[in-house]
């Protein structure tokens, strides 16, 4: 068996197959294990000591059963994430506004009762009101195909003002109001509602006894590295796949260095943004081919910062910032105790993220700091970017998370995971019930069981 990709999904599939007594080989195109699980060499100071900055897969939630089981089996140590995002102020229509002043602010463009909704919760509040999904797989049910429209169109159907629809784009829903299916959004929100039940035991005051989510001591990337270590020399890095030839009795996998590997079955965990550059013969059937060619990943550009001094004590506004300008969001963070080093993070998504990421890392970092200083002068000289990262610029990821466009859930979400001859599909983009790291593990498990059922 050949598994393409050494992220969580591919490694989980390979581990299950190997534990079942099958011969397995994992081919990773890059020189790094982990895929979108990536712990940087740069670190942040927390109550748990210096911990790596997590460029992706930044947290392990209490409901991540497969991830937590793997952490336990591999003798890894969980630590508190210790990242508390401080409250948000706003910079809208050229004005800096405290959160409590939003409802009556002349910068508030909303109408009627919409003005009373907290700004940073506006988009999620509007969508929660119209979310029809109950079960985790409802988003794949044809009964809900009428919701496979853009977020903007769905909000318009339900009477949200045009001002509200535009504002939702900068208040938590991202800028792709016309380019993302509402079902894609509902899937994550329905799964998130389940997540909220996994808070752990509470003390007498109703506060959590321990904090979730968690990280892994040494970095979240310790998990895929430990999974790969168990497979030993069956994991080969720097083997970028260029072609997959599906034959009647076997599959030939070709790599960029001219190597060829022949296997009874193959699992591809490559994002479709990457798989579409791989030759697959014969061509997959219509809906599946369409998915490979059309399913995109959202850009997320982040810049991780140290905050030298708490600038919010100077200007009197809430520490974090949500803006209608190009930086979109700046998170100010501290530890749960409120002590120690303050940290910050620019989070730029959608078209704004693509535009920022089109610059060199140094130019993008300089731009983000200057733009923050422009809208919030108290930050001048207080922000030091220690790591910049664009997921869209990673050649073997091409984005951060799968983003179904309007109509695509109905067109191919169910069909895209069906095995194509001896080629099976995994990866977080083939999620069914889960999200994040757990979705990657879920998909690898599913693909491995599909093959076990055929052997």
Q: What tens digit of pLDDT does each residue of 330-381 get? A: 999 987 666 667 899 999 988 888 899 999 999 999 999 999 999 999 999 9
Helix (H, G, I), strand (E, B) or coil at 260: strand
pLDDT of residue 373: 97
Helix (H, G, I), strand (E, B) or coil at 223: helix
Tokens of 429: 């983009």
Rounded distance between C-alpha atoms, residue 264 and residue 451, angstroms: 10
In terms of DSSP bridges, do strands 423-425 and 266-268 run parallel, antiparallel, or are they unpaired? parallel
Residue at which a domain ends, from 344, 364, 390 = 390
pLDDT of residue 173: 66
pLDDT of residue 143: 98
Verify that 313 and 383 share a domain, yes or no. Answer: yes
102, 146 contact by CB (below 8 A): no
User: Taking all residues of the chain, what is their mean pLDDT, rounded to a whole number?
Assistant: 93
Does residue 49 lie in a domain region? Answer: no
DSSP letter, residue 285? P
Does residue 328 lie in a domain region? Answer: yes
pLDDT of residue 257: 96
Verify that 312 and 365 share a domain, yes or no. Answer: yes
DSSP letter, residue 248? S
Verify that 290 and 306 share a domain, yes or no. Answer: no
pLDDT of residue 376: 97
Computed over its alpha carbons, how large is the radius of gyration of the chain? 23
User: At 31, which CATH number?
Assistant: 3.50.50.60
User: At 316, which CATH number?
Assistant: 3.90.660.10
pLDDT of residue 175: 54
Q: How far is CA 424 from CA 14, 263, 315, 395, 398, in A?
A: 13, 12, 56, 22, 21
Verify that 283 and 411 share a domain, yes or no. Answer: yes
* Model confidence band, residue 197 (pLDDT cutoffs 50, 70, 90): confident
Residue at which a domain ends, from 160, 195, 230 = 195
Helix (H, G, I), strand (E, B) or coil at 310: coil
Q: Which domain holds residue 66?
A: 2-38+56-78+219-295+406-452
| Cross-strand partners of 349 | 300
Does residue 412 lie in a domain region? Answer: yes
Q: Where are the alpha helices (DSSP H) in 65-213?
A: 65-73, 122-130, 151-157, 162-168, 182-195
Verify that 287 and 436 share a domain, yes or no. Answer: yes
In percent, how much of the chain has pLDDT > 90? Answer: 82
Does residue 346 lie in a domain region? Answer: yes
**Prediction pTM value:** 0.95
Residue at which a domain ends, from 133, 160, 195 = 195
Tokens of 127: 């969508």
323, 329 contact by CB (below 8 A): yes
Verify that 290 and 308 share a domain, yes or no. Answer: no
Helix (H, G, I), strand (E, B) or coil at 352: helix
Does residue 16 lie in a domain region? Answer: yes
Verify that 367 and 245 share a domain, yes or no. Answer: no
Verify that 66 and 12 share a domain, yes or no. Answer: yes
Verify that 381 and 425 share a domain, yes or no. Answer: no
Does residue 92 lie in a domain region? Answer: no
| Cross-strand partners of 307 | 342, 383
Rounded distance between C-alpha atoms, residue 315 and residue 105, angstroms: 18
pLDDT of residue 47: 73
Verify that 225 and 289 share a domain, yes or no. Answer: yes
Verify that 318 and 383 share a domain, yes or no. Answer: yes
Rounded distance between C-alpha atoms, residue 269 and residue 385, angstroms: 32
Rounded distance between C-alpha atoms, residue 153 and residue 191, angstroms: 23
Number of domains comprising the chain: 3
pLDDT of residue 169: 83
> Taking the mean position of all CA atoms in its chain, how far away is CA 40?
16
Rounded distance between C-alpha atoms, residue 31 and residue 446, angstroms: 26
Beta-carbon contacts of residue 190 (< 8 Å; ≥ 6 apart): 131, 133, 134, 135, 136, 138, 139
Does residue 103 lie in a domain region? Answer: no
The string of DSSP letters for 353-364 reads HHHHHTS-HHHH
In terms of DSSP bridges, do strands 320-323 and 38-46 run parallel, antiparallel, or are they unpaired? unpaired
pLDDT of residue 336: 66
Beta strands (DSSP E) in 234-277 are 235-236, 241-246, 251-255, 260-263, 266-268
* Model confidence band, residue 172 (pLDDT cutoffs 50, 70, 90): low
Does residue 371 lie in a domain region? Answer: yes
Rounded distance between C-alpha atoms, residue 128 and residue 355, angstroms: 30
Verify that 332 and 190 share a domain, yes or no. Answer: no
């Amino acid at each position: 068996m050949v598994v393409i990709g050494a992220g969580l999904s591919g490694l989980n599939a390979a581990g299950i197959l190997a534990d079942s007594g099958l011969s397995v080989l994992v081919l990773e195109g890059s020189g790094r294990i982990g895929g979108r699980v990536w712990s940087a060499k740069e670190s942040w100071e927390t109550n748990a000591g210096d911990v790596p900055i997590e460029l992706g897969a930044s947290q392990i939630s209490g409901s991540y059963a497969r991830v937590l089981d793997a952490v336990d089996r591999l003798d890894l140590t969980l630590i508190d994430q210790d990242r508390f995002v401080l409250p948000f102020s706003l910079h809208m229509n050229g004005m800096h506004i405290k959160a409590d002043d939003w409802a009556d602010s002349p910068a508030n463009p909303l109408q009627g009762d919409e003005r009373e909704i907290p700004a940073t919760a506006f988009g999620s509040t509007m969508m929660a009101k119209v979310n029809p999904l109950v079960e985790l797989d409802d988003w794949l049910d044809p009964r809900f195909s009428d919701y496979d429209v853009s977020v903007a169109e769905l909000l318009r159907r339900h009477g949200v003002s045009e001002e509200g629809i535009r504002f939702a784009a900068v208040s938590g829903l991202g800028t792709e109001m016309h380019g993302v299916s509402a079902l894609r959004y509902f899937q994550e929100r329905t799964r998130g509602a389940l997540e909220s039940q996994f808070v752990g035991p509470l003390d007498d005051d109703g506060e959590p006894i321990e904090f979730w989510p968690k990280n892994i001591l040494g970095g979240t990337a310790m998990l895929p590295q430990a999974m790969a270590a168990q497979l030993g020399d069956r994991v080969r890095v720097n083997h970028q796949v260029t072609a997959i030839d599906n034959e009647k009795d076997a599959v030939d996998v070709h790599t960029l260095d001219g190597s060829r590997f022949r296997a009874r079955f193959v699992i591809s965990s490559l994002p479709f943004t990457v798989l579409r550059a791989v030759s697959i013969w014969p061509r997959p059937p219509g809906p599946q081919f369409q998915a490979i060619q059309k399913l995109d990943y959202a850009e997320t550009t982040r810049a991780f910062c140290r905050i030298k001094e708490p600038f919010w004590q100077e200007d009197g506004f809430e520490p974090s910032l949500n803006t209608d300008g190009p930086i979109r969001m700046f998170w100010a963070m501290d530890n749960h105790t409120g002590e120690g080093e303050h940290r910050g993070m620019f989070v730029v998504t959608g078209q704004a993220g693509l535009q920022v990421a089109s610059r060199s890392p140094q130019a993008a970092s300089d731009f983000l700091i200057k733009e923050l200083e422009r809208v919030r002068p108290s930050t001048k000289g207080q922000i030091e970017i220690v790591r910049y990262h664009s997921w869209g610029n990673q050649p073997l990821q091409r984005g951060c998370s799968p983003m179904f466009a309007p109509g695509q859930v109905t067109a191919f979400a169910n069909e895209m995971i069906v095995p194509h001859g001896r080629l099976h599909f995994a990866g977080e983009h083939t999620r069914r019930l889960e999200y994040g790291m757990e979705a990657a593990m879920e998909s690898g498990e599913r693909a491995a069981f599909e093959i076990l059922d055929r052997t």
